[in-house]
Amino acid sequence: MAALNDPAHASCVEGALEAVAAGAAERDRHPRFPDEAFAELRAAGLLALTLPRPDGERVISHADEWHAVRSVARADGSVGRIYDGHLNAVERLAVTAPEPLRRRELARVAAGELLLGIWGADPAPGEGPPARLGPGSGSVSGVKTFCSGAGGVDRALILVRGEDAGPPLLAYVDLADGVEVDRDWYRGAGMRSSESHRVVFRGARVVGVLGQPGEIAREPWFGRDAIRTAATWAGVADTAAESALQALAERRQRSELEELAAGRIAAARHSIDSLISAAAARADADPERSQREESVLLRAQLARSARALLDDAVAATGSRPLVTASALDRARRDLGVFLLQHRLEPLLRGVGQSLLDERA
């Protein structure tokens, strides 16, 4: 595909993002899978953005990839959530799938025939049995939750249990048959068109089991999966910042308090920018380097900055943006759901424990 810095392609991408943003409010009011948004992303080449060369080498920097993820999420956080999962799944296919499966599936992604997801969350008690591989590993049955893109993606990488109690396996599943999407399960106020539903598998076909038990946690991919998701958070925070700054700028009378809030919003965005830029520079300089610990620290600090940004934005703009379904209100609801899904405190505690153990 054309490089992101090619003027013609950049213009195509910008047009696609504007179209996605234009439909965000309507999708939030009437949640559904954002087919028209993904048609725009597909036409702009963004679904094939990270496909490797035949020799397996990357064709795009991590900096450019994470910028694209952030830009899509800025246009619509729910679309960004599904897009993040698609790129995650594409990368795992590229680095893990055996031939000829790898070549065949990536060719279908390149042709715009496949939209992918990656689903890891197990059901809570009372929500059904966790997903398991069937006899011979040809099918999967059971339940997954928070399945972003359910009902719209064509295939998904799914964490499943095998015959023993070892680490989870990574199954690549065809979603055409044997899948029931429970749309009554997800009733959150945020990420409403991410279609993050409970899914019941009833013998769905397993296209392949990728890698070894615990494959999902392999580095450097696992840490970078997390940073890619953090770029999605950053895009939603961008939406909140832009909406708040515009509302403050349009006030008939402006006080020092509004100006102070604008400065604080700018400081939070600067912190977010610096975190992602530094992580991308390290990933591009040393592609084999694990970023597992860095991803925890980055997400923890980015989440703090995003929450501070939201607090300042809401305090400065007041209730009007929240009761008129503004982009700020949508971003506040989206981040409220999204940030909690990663349960950062236990991960951050683990980093802190290691630091203290080293000094004991």
Closest CA to 17 of 66, 79, 64: 79
* DSSP letter string, 90-120: HHHHHHHPPTTHHHHHHHHHHTT---EEEE-
Report pLDDT for 71: 98
Report pLDDT digits (tens) over 265-300: 999 999 999 999 999 999 999 999 999 999 999 999
Least confident of 66-70, 161-165, 356-360: 161-165
DSSP 8-state assignment for residue 124: P
Closest CA to 224 of 145, 172, 282: 282
Under DSSP, is residue 316 helix (H, G, I), strand (E, B) or coil?
helix
Side chain identity, residue 90: V
How sure is the predictor about 252, in pLDDT bands with cuts at 50, 70 and 90? confident
Place of tokens 């600090």: 301
| Mean pLDDT, residues 319-323 | 90
Report pLDDT digits (tens) over 39-65: 999 999 999 999 998 878 899 999 999
Report pLDDT for 256: 92
Residue 2 scores a pLDDT above 70: no
Report pLDDT for 166: 85
pTM: 0.95
CB atoms inside a 10 Å sphere around CB 342: 16
Residue 342 scores a pLDDT above 90: no
Classify strands 179-182 and 116-119 as parallel, antiparallel or unpaired.
unpaired
Place of tokens 């943003």: 21
Burial of 53 (0-12, 13-18, 19+ CB in 10 A): exposed
Q: Which two tokens stand for residue 314?
A: 């809401």
User: Is residue 67 a contact partner of residue 281, using CB atoms and an 8 Å limit?
Assistant: no
Report pLDDT for 1: 41
What does each C-alpha distance from 200 to 135, 143, 193 come to in angstroms? 18, 5, 19
Q: Which two tokens stand for residue 248?
A: 């403050």
Under DSSP, is residue 51 helix (H, G, I), strand (E, B) or coil?
coil
How sure is the predictor about 3, in pLDDT bands with cuts at 50, 70 and 90? low
Report pLDDT digits (tens) over 179-238: 999 999 999 999 999 999 999 999 999 999 999 999 999 999 999 999 999 999 999 999
Rg (CA), the chain: 20
Domains and their CATH numbers in the chain = 7-115 (1.10.540.10), 117-215 (2.40.110.10), 219-359 (1.20.140.10)
The beta strands (E) that lie in the chain are given as 116-119, 132-133, 139-147, 155-160, 169-174, 179-182, 197-210
Neighbouring-strand partners of residue 294? none
Alpha carbon distance 42, 112 (integer Å): 6
How sure is the predictor about 4, in pLDDT bands with cuts at 50, 70 and 90? low
Report pLDDT for 164: 80
